[in-house]
Structure 1
Amino acid sequence: MPKIGIVTGLLEEADAFRPGVGRIRREMPFYFREDEDFMLACAGIGKVNGSMAASTLVSRGCDLLVSMGSAGRIGKGEDQAYWLGGAYQHDYGACRREEFVAFRAGSLPFGEPDRQPFLPIDNPGLDLPTATIITGDCFIEDEGRAGAMSLDFDAELVDMETGAVAQVAAMHNIGWAGVRAVSDGANEDGANEFKTQLLNAARMAASQVDKMVQLLQRV
């Protein structure tokens, strides 16, 4: 059975997963809760915080990282939970004359870009649509920019942690998975949508990750 480590960026997302279940480790520098079949870390928003949470989970013995929580919708699709079929970091690359060229995070950003996504484990049986997600350290509130990013990466969702979690998994040669639910439309009203829809998105994602943990424990 895999040791599953779950990463979130927000405490609301962390609290939505099996509320009240497990032991909170007060000695940790950020929120950390664990039980027999999961560990959950929330170090805060963004790629650095997501990487710290993921690395801590790996150091404590997890062999599968899971990105869980909310995401902005940049492409077509319903406002629901999605299984993540691939992850990019949209703000890693090279600034060239009049353009930014994205590269695979961690690769040398010279020459022709390596644009291979980080790929997850196979869906263990969740009845969810699949979406590609892009990750960066900015909250997208520009519908035109969101649409261009969707076309550039052939992606449907954007967040601020998953790409970093996937990169940590790749560096440690372990698997990763992700479930993210739409909290906003990545547009001019995105901040207001996020505030009103975060808890619902967090619960949708957490419910599906709970199912995933149970499915993986049967393997």
Structure 2
Amino acid sequence: MAHILILAALPEEADALFPDAGTREDGIFAVRRLAAHGHALTVATCGLGKVHAALAAGMLGTDADLLLMSGTCGALDAEAGRAYWLAEAVQHDYGTVRPDRFDRYRAGDWPVGEVGEAHFCAMADPGTGLPHARIASGDSFIACPDVAAGLVRGLGATLVDMEVAAVAQAAMRLGKPWAAIKAVTDTADEGSSRDFHANLVRAARSAAQAVERLVAMPGFGNFVAPQQQIR
């Protein structure tokens, strides 16, 4: 039996996962524990932002075999309303501020010297059939098309959120594999706040259904952590 920690930033995202199942526990993080398809699942509401996500991953993920994130995101260059397998994640606000540019490095690396790959790789998709994407995470809600376009140009990102890349960094430090499935609520423009609230419940359930199908896949549980160097 695999132990899977499923993190969601918001209560709406957590409640969409295996609704009405499991036993609730109150603590630093709201947690629901259940069994499904031969796996032990811990569904935790971590809160918004990279610090909350990393703290929950560190506190709750030490005994987990997989760190998995579900929830919602904004589209930079992706289809609104769809759920995506997040094959890569990068922290778009980690790096070095220079007079003429912002150099991005992989979070946790020294932000000096030659700029290389800044992203973290998820575990291999076991066959979800979902489109793959690179997500850019940072402690800012993006509601500006110019900033969104810059993340596409500078990072090759197609989605944006505030947590996934922090979970990826925590997973790397813990030596655990990670995965994430998120569904789009908005298009990271001037109307994003309105669209996010309007589409939150629908998108959260779309991502949750994809997670539920993932957990139910035959043979799911043979997790391999990507080989990425810890510096």
Write out the 4+ residue segments of structure 1 that deviate beyond 3 Å after TM superposition: 216-219
Partner of 2:31: 32
Partner of 1:94: 96
Return the TM-score normalized by structure 1.
0.95
Partner of 2:169: 167
What CA distance in whole angstroms lies between the structure 2 residues aligned with 1:218 and 1:119? Answer: 18
Q: How does 1:136-215 map to 2 (within 5 A)?
A: 136-215=138-217
Farther-moved stretch of structure 1 (202-211 vs 92-101): 92-101
**Unmatched segments (≥5 aa) in structure 2:** 223-231
SS of the aligned residue for 1:68 comes to: strand
SS of the aligned residue for 2:154 comes to: helix
What CA distance in whole angstroms lies between the structure 1 residues aligned with 2:95 and 2:154? Answer: 14
SS of the aligned residue for 1:118 comes to: strand
Indicate yes or no: 2:49 matched with 1:46.
Answer: yes
Q: Are the counterparts in 1 of residues 126 and 220 from structure 2 also a CA contact under 8 Å?
A: no
Letter of the 2:186 counterpart: D
Indicate yes or no: 2:109 matched with 1:110.
Answer: no
Q: Deviations over 1:146-177 (max 9, x none)?
A: 01111211111000000000011111111000
Partner of 1:11: 11
Letter of the 2:115 counterpart: P
Q: CA deviation at 1:217?
A: 4.4
Q: Deviations over 1:115-166 (max 9, x none)?
A: 2411111112212111110100000010111011112111110000000000
What CA distance in whole angstroms lies between the structure 2 residues aligned with 1:131 and 1:8? Answer: 18
**Unmatched segments (≥5 aa) in structure 1:** none
Partner of 1:120: 122
Q: Are the counterparts in 1 of residues 104 and 118 from structure 2 also a CA contact under 8 Å?
A: no
Partner of 2:23: 23
Partner of 2:226: none
Gap change, CA 1:218 and 1:167, over 3 Å in 2 = closer
Q: How many residues align?
A: 217
Return the TM-score normalized by structure 2.
0.90
Letter of the 1:19 counterpart: P
SS of the aligned residue for 2:69 comes to: strand
What CA distance in whole angstroms lies between the structure 1 residues aligned with 2:28 and 2:98? Answer: 39
Q: Are the counterparts in 2 of residues 107 and 114 from structure 1 also a CA contact under 8 Å?
A: no
Calculate the aligned-residue CA RMSD, in Å. Answer: 1.3
Q: Are the counterparts in 1 of residues 91 and 137 from structure 2 also a CA contact under 8 Å?
A: yes
